[in-house]
Structure 1
Amino acid sequence: MSMPLRSGGNLKQVACVLRPGSVSATDLALRSFTAFLLECAPEVGSIAQVTRRHIEDFKPWLAKRPGRTAPRIGPATTLQRLGTLRMFFVRIDEWDWPEAPARVPIFLGDLPRIDHPLPKALDDAAAARLLRAAQADRRMLVRVTIEVLLRTGLRVSEYIALQADAVVQIGAAPWLHVPVGKLHEDRYLPLHPDLVTLIQDYRATFVDAENSLLLPNERGGPLDRHCVTRMINRAGRAAGLPHMHPHQLRHTLATQAINRGMSLEAIAAMLGHRSLDMTLRYAKIANRTVAEEYFAVTDKVDALYGKPAALPADAIGPNMAKLRREHHRHLGNGYCTRPPELDCAFESICENCTFFQTSIEFRPTLQAQHDDAAAKGQDHRAALFNAVLNTLDDSEAS
């Protein structure tokens, strides 16, 4: 078969624009299809003889292949290999190879749709245990590695590639220069002074001044992702945590940041995301607007399912009139005389509605409603009308 020979030209072309890891993945995908043809379709002597039937037979053959650590390869690997194979046929068709099939035999519909689970971050308690365990470890590099990853959100490939001059002073603050990496862009990250001191202490103890790396191992050699993973799990075991991947520390920082009000734009810049679509995955973990609005209506929703409150025993005759005078609520066009003992699921429903709109001409009425609620200690209603009035003030100022 001529496919392995000619696919070498394809690899040389993609090597001009892709990183070595992507070129290796392309090579592996093409070799996988070649192995299938040799095993299941020996009659195929050239790429031109590949038909749609061969692709349909290849998909179940591929799905049964063993993975590196699992009995079967996963959907992501299947997607990568089928997608790479499809792009191979598209390219040779566009390049007018004589051996190209008459039609591209693999369709977009052949590519599996994979799940997009939310990032797996450590919760606050687990992250604190991991950090304490790292700080107590007798090997200083364990602490340095975990603190840097947990406080900067670096990818492991970025961490092990940090250069000796990566810590720089810009203005009054220390920054970390992260070199060009996965997305072909470099960036600067603010560094906590304690982290700067920790890095300096490690370098003073273990790193030769001539070493080109910021954080090599104790013998001066470069770290790799496997070393980093082992160090993280060494501290993780001491903290009673299950097996972890270095990327979980990146997810952990991003989740902590968004839960504490950091903007998506700032998180994207910190993580080196090229598109906000990548950062929006973390917004699904901590949608503050959804949470705040949910808890704002929880009491009203609960009231729908609870038993109606009973009026006091003396709430009859003259006493009822007295309750109405003391607790009536000022509405836009009148008053509500519902006693406070009778909860109402629809209190201030209009002002909470997304279609509610007002203007400056209604300011006197809104102000009167606010003052009435504040005088009667109806804090929720007073805060609501205060927010509406502030919105009016902002629109008038602009």
Structure 2
Amino acid sequence: MPPVTACAPARDADGNAHRHRDGNANAAYLEYLEATSRGNAAYYRAARAFFRRWPWPQDWAGEPLEVRLSANSSTRPLITFLMLHRGLRPGYDYLLERKLSSIWREIKESPIGVDLDRFLTAAAELGFTERVRFATGSQVPARLLIQTGRRLNQLTVDDLAKFATACRDRQARTGTDHKHYLAALSNTQRVLFHMGIAADLPRCGGPIPLTKRLSEVAAPIRATLIAYLERKRATCVAKTVSALATRLKHFGVFVTGIDPDLPSIASLQRCQHIEPYLTFLVDARNTKTGEVITVADRARRVLALTTFLTDITEWGWPEAPPRKLVFRDDIPKLPQPLPRYLPIDADRRLTDALREHPGNELAAYALRLQRACGLRIGELLDLELNCVHEVPGQGSWLKVPLGKLETERMVPLDEEILDLIDHITEIRSPGRPLPHPRYRRLAQFLFTHHGRRLGQQALRTELDRATQTAGLGHITSHQLRHTYATALVNAGVSLQALMALLGHVSAEMSLRYGRLFDATVRDEYERALTLAKQQARTPATSRTSLPLADITSGANWKTTPLVKSRLASGFCLRAPAQGACTYANICEHCPSFHTETSSLPILAAQRVDAAALATDAEQRGWISEAERHRKLIARLDTLISQAQAG
């Protein structure tokens, strides 16, 4: 075997062979051991044995994994040195079996240390904790830099894909779970994206192919359902198509179970397939919770089936049944619940929990903003960094993006909400603009965390934590919107303003909140209840006699829930059922009635009482009685003017 005089010709980023400048890997390793005070006889013997067997160290990387992993504790320092300083690329299978956390100090002193520092700095700017930064750095970027032999800014998405493939191969080979590597891989791609190195963000999940989702449905039925769903993609958003796929799958699986030989949708029969399905839904259970599905879920499944059959019939598809199979009465009647708002004390306790003890600070601020502006959760997370608009003379407004009803709107902001948004902009993670889920244009979103948009699950987790802290039961984020709307109704906001603030396109949607606390209903209830109590205490003979002063029970006669008249020498009280008295103040209106200056104080006092009684009558809805008082006021003004002139 020839003497060991040179290192294997490792490849650079362009694939060209190159050698270490001194041409002697063994000598360089010995110098490294001496410089780090780690040399011993065992290390020297192991190095001589290694180079005797593999004069070109890269040949060692071609050995089976078992051979590479068999290196003893004296040989491993040499392999580590060659990987970090001499360009040895040992293969991802080997790197995934080695724990690089133990050689972190040596990595920092190696040529790839500068690139790792850049990566860790960028990760810190995106808000990753120190533990996550160093775990991610050792799990993925360090291995990528070793295996590719390139600098950090030369890494590509294809390199990340090869690393992911190696992780899956390792799991298939050993059965060892690789989720922690994939999580670190996602974090790495996110950091590289914001550094301007990776062209794309990592994919988070993604839709399951329809063929896989409907795999339990018989082939002829499955083909029609898939064709229908593909057609719906042209006019419906992805979320709607996904919901349709889930509901139609339930029907397809049911039909496959009771009639596996059904040749096509056109062969469906009302009595054989549809009616048994409607009966089945009554006791159908949710596959996740195991509980019987709600009436609303039953209605959605039947409605999805109805729409499917109606659409393919109108489109003239040959798979359409020859006759109508589902009718309007087949859709279960839905209850009409009132909005689920939070009572004032629960609302206050939840807000305190989000303010004083946040788990995920950004999510806690997002929930507080949702409560303060009545946003839907999708609208909240789609807010962009420039969502606050200043209108001269009109203050600050929040531009709410397109949401559930495909409408935009503006919501007025006060100083407290502006301070909240300012703090959100301080704690959000900076970075490159992200693709907008609706338009695919790049946008700077208000809620970004660790280089990506804040997700709905993060909000739900924080809300669950806050409700537990506040000692409340289960609360959904949409209840914060209901609470916002209910507070507006209680404050007397008009229906038109409520529609504008909530983004409703019909008055019917906003009227649901109006039914919660109708002030008119409350006033009428209290008026009627008071009158009923008064009548219950009044003898029957007194209810039709005049005057009725005895039923005031010592209270001020001006505030009683009765028809009232101020007379020169007293007052008159009548039950509302008797209506306005045709004789009340008849003298004041008589042409023969004259007064003089000595009576001015009495007329002035009578006018004050008449104005108060008119207001009282208007508030109680007694329009004719209020009009009578207004006419008296006008007559008194005339009489007072005449007395003053005389």
User: Which TM bucket (shorter chain)?
Assistant: 0.7 to 0.9
Q: Give CA deviations for 1:161-198 in whole Å, capped at 9, x if unaligned.
A: 11121122222522111111111111111122222222
Asked if the contact 2:399/2:409 (under 8 Å) is kept, the reply is yes
Question: Any gaps of 5 or more consecutive residues in structure 1?
Answer: 312-330, 394-398
Q: Distance in 1 between matches of 2:330 and 2:561?
A: 52
Q: Distance in 1 between matches of 2:587 and 2:387?
A: 57
Asked if the contact 2:229/2:245 (under 8 Å) is kept, the reply is yes
Letter aligned with residue 548 of structure 2: R
Ranges of 4+ aligned residues in structure 1 off by more than 3 Å: 304-309, 341-353, 362-365, 370-382, 385-393
Q: Secondary structure at the residue paired with 1:91?
A: helix
Q: Which of 219, 226, 229 matches 2:460?
A: 229
Asked if the contact 1:150/1:252 (under 8 Å) is kept, the reply is yes
Aligned-pair distance for 1:288?
A: 1.0
Q: Residues 157, 70 of structure 1: CA spacing in aligned structure 2 closer, same or farther, 3 A cutoff?
A: farther
Question: Any gaps of 5 or more consecutive residues in structure 2?
Answer: 1-218, 434-443, 554-559, 565-572, 594-602, 619-624, 633-646
**Counterpart check, 1:34 vs 2:256:** no
Asked if the contact 1:373/1:381 (under 8 Å) is kept, the reply is no
Asked if the contact 2:388/2:397 (under 8 Å) is kept, the reply is yes
Q: Distance in 2 between matches of 1:277 and 1:364?
A: 49
Aligned-pair distance for 1:142?
A: 4.5
Q: Residues 345, 187 of structure 1: CA spacing in aligned structure 2 closer, same or farther, 3 A cutoff?
A: closer
**Partner residue, 1:5:** 223
Q: Which of 365, 380, 384 matches 2:617?
A: 384
Aligned-pair distance for 1:14?
A: 1.7
Asked if the contact 1:176/1:188 (under 8 Å) is kept, the reply is yes
**Partner residue, 1:326:** none
The share of aligned pairs that are identical, in percent, is: 28
Q: Distance in 2 between matches of 1:269 and 1:72?
A: 38
Q: Residues 389, 177 of structure 1: CA spacing in aligned structure 2 closer, same or farther, 3 A cutoff?
A: farther
TM-score (norm 2): 0.51
Letter aligned with residue 221 of structure 2: M
Aligned-pair distance for 1:378?
A: 12
Aligned-pair distance for 1:65?
A: 2.4
Q: Which of 72, 85, 88 matches 2:308?
A: 88
**Partner residue, 1:288:** 519
Higher relative contact order (CA 8 A, sep 6+): 1
Q: Which moved more, 1:205-214 or 1:35-44?
A: 205-214
Q: Which of 448, 451, 454 matches 1:216?
A: 448
Q: Which moved more, 1:12-21 or 1:383-392?
A: 383-392
**Partner residue, 1:320:** none
The correspondence of residues 1-398 of structure 1 with structure 2, limited to 5 A, is 1-53=219-271, 54-67=273-286, 68-139=288-359, 140-172=361-393, 173-208=395-430, 210-211=432-433, 212-217=444-449, 219-306=450-537, 308=539, 336-341=546-551, 347=563, 383-384=616-617, 387-388=626-627
Asked if the contact 1:174/1:190 (under 8 Å) is kept, the reply is yes
Q: Distance in 2 between matches of 1:63 and 1:221?
A: 42
Asked if the contact 2:464/2:474 (under 8 Å) is kept, the reply is yes
Count of aligned positions: 364
Aligned-pair distance for 1:233?
A: 2.5
Q: Distance in 2 between matches of 1:246 and 1:291?
A: 30
Letter aligned with residue 92 of structure 1: I
Q: Distance in 2 between matches of 1:209 and 1:168?
A: 23
Q: Give CA deviations for 1:277-308 in whole Å, capped at 9, x if unaligned.
A: 00000011011111112212321111233475
Q: Secondary structure at the residue paired with 1:257?
A: helix
Q: Residues 235, 345 of structure 1: CA spacing in aligned structure 2 closer, same or farther, 3 A cutoff?
A: closer
Q: Distance in 2 between matches of 1:243 and 1:29?
A: 26
Letter aligned with residue 281 of structure 1: R
Q: Which moved more, 1:203-212 or 1:376-385?
A: 376-385
Q: Distance in 1 between matches of 2:452 and 2:295?
A: 36
Q: Secondary structure at the residue paired with 1:103?
A: coil
Q: Residues 352, 230 of structure 1: CA spacing in aligned structure 2 closer, same or farther, 3 A cutoff?
A: farther
TM-score (norm 1): 0.80
Letter aligned with residue 46 of structure 1: S
Q: Secondary structure at the residue paired with 1:112?
A: coil
Letter aligned with residue 51 of structure 1: Q
Q: Residues 285, 350 of structure 1: CA spacing in aligned structure 2 closer, same or farther, 3 A cutoff?
A: farther
